[in-house]
Structure formats: C-alpha cells, structure tokens
C-alpha cells in the first residue's frame, strides 16, 4: 500500500462528500464509502463499525470480507483491536494484527488472510461513535501521512454517521430486532448516578374494606396506639440514622411534624366518633383534604398532599398490623420501585444498600427525590407501568445520568453498569489520592480550583477535595428544598454552616437565582412564555427588594468578622449591578448602626451570563471586585439556544471559535483591569473544556465536587505555554466544533482528559 499524495486525499474527500450528499439509502452510502476508501488507499479490505448501544459496535459496511458479515459481527467497546480504538478514541495501527495482544479473531468476518491493520475512531462530541478500518494482506507499517488522511476522512464520515438520517436508520434497525423495548425504559432523571441491584417493590397502599365500626371506644384506642407507635418509630428511625445536616433533614423533620399534627389527628378521631373504623377514618380525613386541595395550581400545596398521602398510608400500615414486614429485605444491593413514595418511606430501608430508586409518579420537587439525591442514590421517574411490570427480586439497573431503567438487563448491560460503577469508585479513589497534590500544571502554573455547592452533601467535598474555596454557592437550592421562604434566621443557619465548614477558605455567595427551571414550591409559576429570559434571578430580587435585603442581611451576619464575597447573577447592565450592590451596602450600613458585628471586608462581584454586559464590561470592571463567568447561561443566550432542550444539546458547542473568542476577551479585559475573574459554569468541570479555559488565560475555575479529580489530573498533566499557543491557532477556525482537534491534542500531549 503506498502513501497517497495530498491531492489524492482531496479526491477521497470530494468523493466522500458526493456520496454522502447523494440521494441513495444509508446502507448503500456506507458501502460505497468503504469501497471507495479501500480503493483509493490501495488496501485489501476495509470496514465501518458503528456504536449501536453504549457499549457495542456492529459491522455496518465492509469490503474484502465475507459477503454476509455485515450486521453479523459485533464487538464490545474494548474488545479486539476495533473495540480498543473505540474505547481509547484514538487511532491504532499494527503491521501484523495477529501478533497484537488485543487481537480478537472473528470467524464471521473471514479475515484469515489479512495481516496489517489500521483503525481510526469516528468521533462526535468527544466520544467514539464508530470505527473505520483498513487491512492489507502483506505486513505493512502505516505511515503518519496515511494515518492523517484516514483521520481526516473519519472526521467527515462522522458527520454522516451522526446525521439524523443515519440515527433514524440505526434506531429502525434496532427496533426491528425487538431490542431496546424489552429491557430498556426511558424516564426522567431526578438524581444522577448508576445503580444495579435486586428490585424491592414498595408496598402498594392497602384498600380499606371495613368501613363502619362496631365499638367506637375500641377503634379510638386502636387509633391512638397505632398513631403513638408510628410517631415513636419515626422518631427513633430519624434519630438513629446518620443523615448529616441539611435541607433533606429539614424535609424529614417537616414530615415528622406532619405525622404529629394535632389537627389531622383530631379529624381522624372525629371521623371515628361518627361511626367509622380507624382505617376508614384515616381515608376520610385524606379525602376531605384531597377534595379541598387537588384542584389547586399551587405546587407547594400539591406536594403537601403527597406528604399527607404518605403519612396516611403509614398510619394505615400500623393500623392493619402489616408494618413489621414493610421493609424486611435481607438482600444486598437493592433498587426500590414505587408508584409514589414519601421521604420517610425511604428510611424504612437500609439506605446504605439502596443503589437506585424508581418512582413511577415522581417529580423533581418531590421530597423523596431530594432526600435520595442528598444520600447519593440515583433516581429515575415517569416510566408508565413500571410499577406493575417489575417483581420483587428481579435484577434492575438504573441509569440516573440519562434517565434509563433496565429490567432484567442482559449480561452485556450488567457488565456495562458494573464497569460504570467501578469507574466511579476508581475515580473516587483517585480523587482521594490527588487530594494532597497541588493544583499546578507541569510547567508550574497554579490553577485555583473552587467548588460549586448547593445541597448540604456538597459540603463534604470541601474536605474531600481540599479545594481552594467555594467559588459558587447556589443559595436557591436550600430555598427550593424548604417548605416556606426561609427567614433571615433560617438563612443564617445555612450560610453560617457553610462558612464554618469552609474555615479559612474563601466563600462566594450568590444571591437568589430563582425562576426559569428553578422553581420555588411556595411560589406559583408565573406562566411566562420564555421563562429563561423572563422574570428570573436578579430581576425578581430587585423587584421584590425585601427578599434581597433579607438575604444580604443573612450574608452579612454569617460572615461577621470574616471576609464576605457576594455575587449577583444574571446582571444585564451596569445600572442593575449598581442597584444590587447599593442594596447590599445599605444593609451593611444598617448592620453597623445596629452595632452588629460586620464582615472585615466585603467584596462584590457579578456573574457574566447575559451577553449585553460584555459591551459595558470596562465600566463594570471598575465597579466590581470580581467577576465569574456563568457559561451555562452565557452559552444559551449567546447561541440563542435553550440549555434544557435535548434537541439542541449537540447543535452548538462552547468549544468553537465564537464562544472561545468571547471567553478569551472577558479574561483579557478582566486581567487588564486587575479584576479577579473565574468561570463557574459547567465548562470548568469538564477536563477538555477546562484545558481550553486555561489556554485562554483563566486561572480560577469553580466546579462541582464530582468533577474535581478529573480536572485536577488534567491540570497536573498540562503545559500552559503549549496549550496557550495551540488555542490561539484555533480561534479563527470556521469549524462548527473544535472538540475533535482538542481531544487529539490532549492525547498527543499526554494530557489526562478521562
């Protein structure tokens, strides 16, 4: 096989373009493509494998192999040379494939006579979606130029493979084989993570059959005994369970208060007095409440109905005496499946064994979901019929990242889950190892790494990551988990706890950033057409100034005698920032006049999330002590692309020239003004994106605790001077995305971006 000249490479690309733009069917296009590449590159055989499941590659087109091998040959990612290419997302060439330790022989292919092998991944959004291979009969060392040509072809080919047409074809194929539907169900993710375990179907509510009591006194005694026992058990359970501190505990406490509510108990007792059995009286009390509240649009009240149903079910369980066996599960890892469930019900199980939770009627604001999330349990909801489909003891797999549930998963799927769970554990171990090592690049540049926190359990990361501080405290999260708008005292409790846990480390408090997808259960949805660009965030708190003032007061008190950093989100112009800053300053003055201890220093900053501020940045930088770029919102406004719309997630990439140029300009302007500048959007927590941010000049990154280890190992394997030079060369590129180039760069330079 001889190296084709550059002109020849151009010919291949031209022909490839012509094939992909033709009106032929996808299988024909793929077959023609493979034949054409084999011919031009003077190879003896070639193949195109595509990812059909997260973990499997299937032969979709071939030249020079057995005629019926297409769609018969499949490999696990990581299996054989092809699997290796996909797993590592990098090219691999060998002069004699048979001698390679990872070579795996496939009889269906008929590859006996071939010796040399080259495989190149088809990469899309940083991961391999397929592999293209060439083989020759004679031993042959593939040259750099041959590899380069094939990699260029692969880049163009990956466009075709990721096209809607191709996706439809692939899905149709999979569906026609009856796969997917049998074991895989799509739902809504309420808490991330992967879990594998035996199903435990959470008990259905018992129907009340006996309505009228023969002996009222007897019924009242029964009711009292059951109520007392239930409350006693609840108290004992919560007091003995190690739950840490935070809003999930507040939820459970509120539930406990509900169970003890005198008004509710009196209603039940009155129903018994009127002649009902204790069980029927509980149901009647619930129905009365349901009749009054079920029509409400108020999410808070709706959630209260959920709580009441849960407490009523619990009491019914005690009344009927079948409470004792409620959660007697002696198996190891379990996945709890419920139609609906209260937060306290979760505590009936040994939560250290719960590997996943599936709630058929679950919603994101549902308290059990918040509690499960705080406990690190993946949760998936909204899968119709799953409750009746699953039997206790069956094996289940929960993918809380993408919202899938697998019932009786096949061995390969089980293997995939075990690998993901093991990977998570390995990462955690690596994180622990990295903890003590400095966040310094290979050429000695210090990168300050901060944490984004919100939920109480995030605070554990302060110690486990050894971070430089809290770069973003999303104060709305405790507001979202609370029953009512927290007053100053309550807020002070949250903020002081964070300050205490952070010790000497810096903490940046962000003012309340609600609205859009972050809804408060006690505020009705305003029903706007475009909530993401509607009345949200600083716009709400400036209009409802009392909320902002109270929050500022709580911040000032939590940081008494220490340094306070306050950041305002969604600022659209200087005037807005000045207004927010003034509110803080007035509160500071009031605190002084009240003779309260105040912070020893107050720094005021803003988030760069709305593109309009970029055109007033110099003036803003004169007023701000620091800025932090919220790339999640900034990207959605910059590209006019809803950050929560799954149909758009792959359309625009932050790793593209327009976005990177803008990010570079913000960093440069801040540096010139001598103002501290950081990034606290998701970009910071993704190793490849964080690498580029460093290349653009950023030295302060704030991310979620779970991203810390991966970003730190990237930082420690990076050479800043090199990445700065490389990023400059990309800024004028016209490509829709620069991700493949950046991934290749990272691999070629030994930068850890796993």
The binder of ligand PEP chosen from 31, 247, 576, 609 (CB under 6 A): 609
How far is the C-alpha of 87 from the C-alpha of 79, rounded, in Å?
Answer: 9
* Element of type H or E holding 621: helix 617-623
How many residues bind to Mg ion according to rule CB under 5 A? 2
Using alpha carbons only, how large is the chain's radius of gyration in Å?
30
- In this complex, which beta carbon is closest to Mg ion, that of residue 46 or of residue 630? 630
Place of tokens 């200087």: 574
630 binds Mg ion (CB under 5 A): yes
Report the nearest approach of ligand PEP to the CB of residue 454 (Å): 8
Provide the 10 A C-beta neighbour count for residue 439: 20
**Within positions 650 to 709, which residues make up the interface with ligand PEP, using CB under 6 A?**
680-681
Q: Quick one: what does residue 474 bind among ligand PEP, Mg ion, none, with the CB cut-off 5 to 8 Å set by partner type?
A: ligand PEP
- In this complex, which beta carbon is closest to ligand PEP, that of residue 362 or of residue 681? 681
Nearest to 302 by CA among 524, 629, 132: 524
Provide the 10 A C-beta neighbour count for residue 478: 23
Nearest to 468 by CA among 452, 453, 448: 448
How far is the C-alpha of 661 from the C-alpha of 655, rounded, in Å?
Answer: 10
The binder of ligand PEP chosen from 79, 313, 633, 689 (CB under 6 A): 633
Report the nearest approach of ligand PEP to the CB of residue 149 (Å): 40
Q: Quick one: what does residue 306 bind among Mg ion, ligand PEP, none, with the CB cut-off 5 to 8 Å set by partner type?
A: none
- In this complex, which beta carbon is closest to ligand PEP, that of residue 60 or of residue 637? 637
Report the nearest approach of ligand PEP to the CB of residue 632 (Å): 3
Of the listed pieces 36-44, 266-274, 625-633, 651-659, which binds ligand PEP according to CB under 6 A? 625-633
- Which residues fall within 8 angstroms of residue 289, CB to CB, at 6 or more apart? 305, 308
How far is the C-alpha of 157 from the C-alpha of 653, rounded, in Å?
Answer: 19
Report the nearest approach of ligand PEP to the CB of residue 268 (Å): 43
HSE-CB for 282 with a 13 A CA cutoff: 29
Report the nearest approach of ligand PEP to the CB of residue 680 (Å): 5
How far is the C-alpha of 63 from the C-alpha of 43, rounded, in Å?
Answer: 10
Q: Quick one: what does residue 653 bind among ligand PEP, Mg ion, none, with the CB cut-off 5 to 8 Å set by partner type?
A: none
Residue 679 β-bridge partners: 629, 701
Nearest to 241 by CA among 343, 352, 330: 352
- Which x/- pattern over 587-626 shows residues binding Mg ion (rule: CB under 5 A)? ----------------------------------------
**What b/e sequence results for 560-590 when a residue is b if at least 16 CB atoms lie within 10 Å of its CB, and e otherwise?**
bebebbbbbbbbbebebbebbbebbeebbee
- Burial label, 12 (beta-carbon count in 10 A; 0-12, 13-18, 19+): buried
Residue 61 β-bridge partners: 48
- In this complex, which beta carbon is closest to ligand PEP, that of residue 193 or of residue 630? 630
The binder of ligand PEP chosen from 314, 474, 557, 699 (CB under 6 A): 474
- In this complex, which beta carbon is closest to ligand PEP, that of residue 31 or of residue 609? 609
682 binds Mg ion (CB under 5 A): no
Residue 45 β-bridge partners: 135
Q: Quick one: what does residue 591 bind among Mg ion, ligand PEP, none, with the CB cut-off 5 to 8 Å set by partner type?
A: none
The binder of ligand PEP chosen from 197, 246, 630, 709 (CB under 6 A): 630
- In this complex, which beta carbon is closest to ligand PEP, that of residue 472 or of residue 617? 472
- Which residues fall within 8 angstroms of residue 545, CB to CB, at 6 or more apart? 583
536 binds ligand PEP (CB under 6 A): no
How far is the C-alpha of 9 from the C-alpha of 19, rounded, in Å?
Answer: 15
Of the listed pieces 12-20, 311-319, 546-554, 626-634, which binds ligand PEP according to CB under 6 A? 626-634
Report the nearest approach of ligand PEP to the CB of residue 550 (Å): 21
513 binds ligand PEP (CB under 6 A): yes
Q: Quick one: what does residue 200 bind among Mg ion, ligand PEP, none, with the CB cut-off 5 to 8 Å set by partner type?
A: none
Residues in the chain: 754
The binder of Mg ion chosen from 633, 653, 682, 689 (CB under 5 A): 633
DSSP state of 58: E
By CB under 6 A, name the binding residues for ligand PEP.
472, 474, 513, 609, 630-633, 680-681
List of residues contacting Mg ion (CB under 5 A): 630, 633
């Amino acid at each position: 096989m001889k190296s084709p000249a550059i002109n020849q490479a151009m010919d291949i690309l031209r022909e490839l373009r012509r094939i992909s733009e033709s009106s032929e069917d996808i299988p024909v296009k793929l077959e023609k493509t493979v034949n054409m590449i084999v011919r031009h590159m003077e190879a003896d055989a070639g193949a195109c494998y595509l990812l059909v499941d997260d973990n499997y590659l299937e032969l979709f087109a071939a030249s020079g192999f057995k005629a019926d091998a297409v769609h018969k040959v499949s490999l696990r990612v990581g299996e054989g040379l092809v699997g290796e290419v996909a797993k590592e997302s990098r090219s691999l060439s060998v002069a004699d494939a048979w001698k390679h330790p990872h070579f795996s022989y496939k009889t269906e292919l008929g590859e006996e006579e071939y010796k040399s092998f080259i495989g190149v991944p088809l990469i899309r959004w940083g991961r391999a979606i397929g592999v293209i291979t060439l083989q020759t009969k004679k031993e042959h060392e593939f040259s750099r130029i041959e590899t380069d040509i094939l990699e260029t072809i692969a880049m163009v080919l990956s466009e075709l493979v990721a096209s809607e047409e191709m996706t439809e074809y692939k899905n149709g194929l999979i569906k026609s084989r009856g796969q997917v539907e049998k074991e895989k169900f799509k739902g809504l993710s309420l808490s991330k993570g992967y879990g594998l375990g035996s199903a435990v179907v959470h008990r259905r509510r018992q129907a009340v059959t006996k309505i009228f009591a023969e002996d009222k006194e007897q019924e009242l005694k029964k009711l009292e005994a059951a109520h007392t026992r239930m409350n006693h058990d609840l108290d004992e359970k919560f007091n003995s369970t190690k739950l840490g501190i935070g809003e999930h505990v507040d939820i459970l406490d509120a539930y406990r208060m509900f169970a003890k509510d005198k008004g509710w108990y009196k209603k039940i007792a009155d129903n018994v007095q009127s002649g009902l059995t204790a069980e029927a009286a509980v149901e009647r009390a619930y129905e009365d409440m349901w009749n009054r509240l079920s029509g409400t649009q108020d999410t808070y009240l709706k959630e209260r109905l959920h709580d009441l149903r849960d407490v009523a079910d619990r009491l019914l369980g005690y009344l009927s005496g079948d409470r004792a066996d409620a959660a007697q599960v002696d198996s190891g890892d379990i996945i709890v499946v419920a139609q609906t469930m209260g937060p306290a019900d979760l505590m009936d199980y040994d939560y250290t064994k719960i590997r996943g939770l599936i709630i058929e009627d679950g919603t994101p604001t549902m308290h059990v979901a918040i509690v499960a999330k705080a406990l690190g349990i993946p949760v998936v909801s909204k899968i119709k019929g799953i409750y009746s489909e699953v039997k206790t003891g069956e094996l289940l797999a929960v993918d809380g990242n993408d919202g899938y549930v697998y019932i009786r998963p096949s061995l390969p799927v089980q293997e995939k889950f075990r690998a993901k769970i093991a990977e998570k554990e390995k990462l955690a171990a690596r994180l622990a190892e990295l903890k003590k090592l400095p966040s310094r690049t290979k050429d000695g540049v210090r990168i300050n790494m901060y944490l984004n926190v919100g939920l109480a359990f995030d605070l554990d990361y302060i110690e486990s990551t050894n971070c430089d501080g809290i770069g973003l405290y999303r104060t709305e999260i405790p507001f979202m988990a609370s029953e009512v708008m927290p007053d100053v005292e309550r807020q002070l409790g949250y903020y002081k706890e964070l300050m205490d846990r952070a010790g000497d480390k810096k903490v940046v408090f962000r003012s309340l950033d609600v609205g859009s997808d972050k809804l408060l259960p006690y505020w009705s949805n305003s029903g706007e057409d475009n909530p993401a660009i509607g009345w949200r965030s600083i716009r709400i708190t400036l209009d409802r100034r009392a909320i902002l003032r109270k929050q500022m007061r709580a911040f000032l008190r939590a940081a008494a005698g220490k340094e306070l950093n306050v950041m305002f989100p969604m600022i659209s112009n200087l005037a807005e920032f000045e207004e927010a800053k003034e509110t803080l300053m007035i509160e500071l003055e009031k605190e002084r006049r009240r003779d309260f201890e105040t912070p020893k220093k107050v720094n005021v900053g803003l988030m760069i999330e709305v593109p309009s501020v970029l055109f007033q940045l110099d003036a803003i930088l004169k007023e701000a002590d620091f800025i932090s770029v919220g790339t999640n919102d900034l990207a959605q406004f910059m590209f006019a692309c809803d950050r929560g719309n799954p149909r758009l997630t792959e359309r625009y990439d932050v790793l593209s020239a327009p976005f990177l140029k803008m990010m570079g300009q913000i960093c440069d302007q801040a540096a010139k003004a001598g103002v501290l500048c950081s990034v606290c959007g998701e970009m910071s927590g993704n190793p490849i994106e964080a690498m580029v941010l460093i290349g653009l000049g950023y030295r302060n990154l704030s991310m979620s605790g779970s991203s810390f280890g991966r970003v730190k190992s990237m930082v420690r394997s990076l050479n800043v001077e090199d990445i700065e030079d490389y990023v400059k060369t990309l800024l004028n590129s016209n490509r829709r995305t620069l991700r493949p180039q950046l991934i290749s760069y990272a691999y070629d330079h030994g930068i850890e971006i796993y």
